[in-house]
Amino acid sequence: MSKKKFKTEISQLLDLIIHSLYSHKEIFLRELISNSSDALDKLKYLTLTDDKLKKLDFVPRIDISFDKDAKTLTVADSGIGMSAEDLDDNLGTIARSGTKNFLSHLSGDAKKDSNLIGQFGVGFYSCFMVADRVTVITRKAGEDQAWKWESDGRGSYSVDEAERDTQGMTVILHLNDNGTEYTNRWSIEQLVKKYSDHIAFPIFLEFDESKWEGEGDDRKELKEHKIEQINAASALWKKSKSDLTEEDYNEFYKTIGHDSEDPMLYIHTKAEGTQEYTTLFYVPAKAPFDMYQADYRPGVKLYIKRVFITDDEKELMPVYMRFLRGVIDSEDLPLNVSREILQQNRVLDAIRTASVKKVLSELQKISENNPEKYRQFIEQYNRPLKEGVYSDYANREALLELVRYKSTEEEGWTSLAAYKERMKDDQKSIYFITGDNEKTLRNSPLLEAYKKKGIEVLIMDDEIDEIVAPSIMNYKDVELKSVNKSGAADDLKTEADKEKEKDLEPVLKRIKDALGDKVKEVKASSRLSDSPSCIVADENDPTMQMQQMMRAMGQTDFPEIVPILEINPDHAIVSKLKDTADDAVFEDISFLLFEQAMLVEGQQLKEPAEFVKRLNRMMENAV
């Protein structure tokens, strides 16, 4: 017997599954059937493309049986099977995203956490919610040797040689007290209907049905052995929309999306003509847990003439649409298409292009006809749409109609189109402010003059806005301007402001001399009404927030970029500063004007101790 220990992380995972997720233990059957379906998909593809397996006697099916007396439940398939090495790789370790990552996403909510099991590729381990021991007997297609994997889920497993007549896998659950409820026909049929009815392969249930013979005292109960198919086994996406109900769509989504919630929306398209293909896309009600991870799991499966090809190809849809779940089924691609050819294939490129336009078009319809549903969509997926604005130039105009922003004038979310409608007659630009905290931005001195003049400013508090917003340049011939930059205030400047700036030049020069290279320039401000000072970026420089992002991403080789300090000519502090002859006092006030402007913008001071000393000196003089 070859006994091996699970990795420490898996022991943690098994302990968590066994003790924390009992309330949704029924998902174990969904996961086992899903694994069998994947194994059948893979072998079906290989029997069509791999010369070594083309002559294989392949009859795709999934068989479920139970033994009430022995307290066992068995799920078997005729799929691709596993070698001893595969068993170690797939059942001795956690696939893809890692157990630590899985554990970090747990919330304590059993229903929510049970959904993560399938999404993280750890579905097999859900067996231990209902079983004291799990036995796997498997033989890989094209190989003669079969193997037995066995574990009680308590830290170790064994792998030994075994016998199996054909390729495939048999999973035998030795049920615990929590699992005995699944040793009856009704429970299994209900779970298959609920989770796996649209699996594309037949699922058979083997059971004994009572049959009575004779009458009165001679009446005897006989057991009639039956095997019945218990799922529809249809490629749902190939059916006509008129033949499907919303419940059909929702249940199929739960099968492929490993989700217990209904999707937010679905888009079912059948194209005929130059290219023939079918797509069925779903938008999950909640954003996938790994949406912002580099190793995110693609949610769209590629089929060719109903033959599964891949569910691990990130090129099927653009990266910014990685939240989509669903199916693309082409009639025109060759079955033996390789991954390298897939990425450059003109047919698939045409399907992808048309599919993106269709999804964006449907989202636009929802935004116009169902604002509440679109608000829910935006709260989950606004950021990926912004990524699309930056990366998908061909669809930028459509995406600009879909993205939403917060605003100084409107509650909730607003579109660029709605902002443009509200613009004042003499307003030249669409104004926006970027940063990482909505409350800080709303209270920023940079907004004072805009608020006073009733000019709306878009609040962009997502870090991606720092990259995306400047790339937009204009919307329907109206320029977008960042109020974080020096040039935006030029639109607000009056002749009176220019006169004040001229009068203030000696003070501005003196402040610049005091601050030296801590600021790029000191200017009179036309954007301030209440605050004495603010900092902005030069029109050609990145903002302070952008610099922080670049450093966080490891880009430290750029020269230090300092801000422009703007001074409010009408503020009482500035008026008194004109008459300050004491150079030491003037320098302290100059630094305090700069440092308080930095703090208001959420920036860290490089010399906080010096700031405190200056502040103390000013308070001493004032007392």
What are 180-193's pLDDT values in tens digits? Answer: 999 999 999 999 88
How far apart are the C-alpha atoms of 595 and 605, rounded to whole Å? 7
Return the pLDDT at 35. Answer: 87
Report yes or no: 287 and 380 within 8 Å, Cβ to Cβ.
yes
CATH class of 405-623: mainly alpha
How far apart are the C-alpha atoms of 129 and 200, rounded to whole Å? 27
Query: Angle between the 110-119 and 8-20 helix axes, to the nearest 10 degrees?
Result: 140
Q: Count CA atoms within 13 Å of residue 521 on its CB side.
A: 12
Closest CA to 63 of 180, 169, 208: 169
CA torsion through residues 469, 467, 388, 362, sign: negative
The string over 460-474, giving b where at least 16 C-beta atoms fall within 10 Å of a residue's C-beta and e elsewhere, is: bbbbbbbebbbebee
Spans in the chain with pLDDT lower than 50: 22, 94-99, 110-111, 114, 118-121
DSSP bridge partners of 300: 326
Q: Count CA atoms within 13 Å of residue 577 on its CB side.
A: 28
Return the pLDDT at 377. Answer: 98
At 22, which amino acid appears?
A: Y
Report yes or no: 121 and 95 within 8 Å, Cβ to Cβ.
yes
How, if at all, do strands 429-434 and 457-460 pair? parallel
Q: Where are the alpha helices (DSSP H) in 453-582?
A: 465-472, 495-515, 544-552, 572-578
Within 10 Å of residue 356's Cβ, how many Cβ atoms?
Answer: 20
At 308, which amino acid appears?
A: F
Where do the domains of the chain lie? 2-229, 236-369, 405-623
Query: Angle between the 371-391 and 465-472 helix axes, to the nearest 10 degrees?
Result: 80
How, if at all, do strands 478-482 and 429-434 pair? parallel
How far apart are the C-alpha atoms of 2 and 9, rounded to whole Å? 21
Return the pLDDT at 113. Answer: 52
Q: Count CA atoms within 13 Å of residue 553 on its CB side.
A: 10
Return the pLDDT at 97. Answer: 38
- Identical fold for domains 2-229 and 405-623, yes or no, is no
CATH class of 2-229: alpha beta
At 254, which amino acid appears?
A: K
What is the CATH architecture assignment of 236-369? Answer: 2-Layer Sandwich (3.30)
Structure-token pair, residue 487: 């040039």
Report the greatest alpha carbon distance in the chain: 121
Q: Which residues touch 613 (CB under 8 Å, ≥6 apart)?
A: none
**Phi, psi (rounded to 5 degrees) for 327:** -140, 140
Structure-token pair, residue 109: 């909510």
